[in-house]
Amino acid sequence: MANETQKVFDTGQPVLSIDGLNVSYPVYGEDPVQAVRDLDLHIQPGEIVGLVGESGSGKTTLARSVMGLLVQPGRVDTGTIQFDGKDLRALPEKQLRAVRGKDIAMVIPNPRSELDPLVTVGRQISNVARAHLGIKRDEADQMAMDMLNAVQIPDPDRRFKAYPHELSGGMAQRVVMAISLVCSPKFVISDDATSGLDVTVQAQVLDLLRALVRSHNTAMLFITRDIGITAHFCDRVAVIYAGEIVEIAPMQSFFENPMHPYSVMLLAAFAHNPTLRAKWHKPLASAAPAHGGACAYAGRCVHAEDHCRQNSAELRELAPGHLVRCHFPVERPL
Percent pLDDT > 70 in the chain is 89
Closest CA to 82 of 146, 24, 149, 13: 13
* 50 φ, ψ (degrees, to nearest 5): -90, 130
Confidence band of 43 (pLDDT split at 50, 70, 90): very high
User: Is residue 290 pLDDT above 70, yes or no?
Assistant: no
pLDDT of residue 287: 45
Q: Using CA atoms, how far apart are residues 68 and 74, in angstroms rounded to an integer?
A: 11
Domain boundaries, the chain: 16-103+185-325, 105-184
Percent pLDDT > 90 in the chain is 54
Residue-wise pLDDT tens digits, 195-239: 767 777 778 888 888 888 888 889 999 999 888 888 888 999 999
DSSP annotation of 283:
-
Residue-wise pLDDT tens digits, 84-102: 889 999 999 999 988 988 9
Q: Using CA atoms, how far apart are residues 17 and 84, in angstroms rounded to an integer?
A: 8
Bridge partners for 223 per DSSP? 51, 191
Confidence band of 333 (pLDDT split at 50, 70, 90): low
Residue-wise pLDDT tens digits, 234-272: 999 999 999 999 999 999 999 999 999 999 888 887 766
User: Is residue 4 pLDDT above 50, yes or no?
Assistant: no
DSSP assignment string, 175-232: HHHHHHHTT--SEEEEESTTTTS-HHHHHHHHHHHHHHHHHTT-EEEEEES-HHHHHH
Please tell me the pTM assigned to this model.
0.88
Q: Tell me the average pLDDT of the chain.
A: 87
User: Is residue 126 pLDDT above 70, yes or no?
Assistant: yes
CATH number of 16-103+185-325: 3.40.50.300
Angle between helices 121-133 and 137-150 (to 10 degrees): 120
pLDDT of residue 1: 40
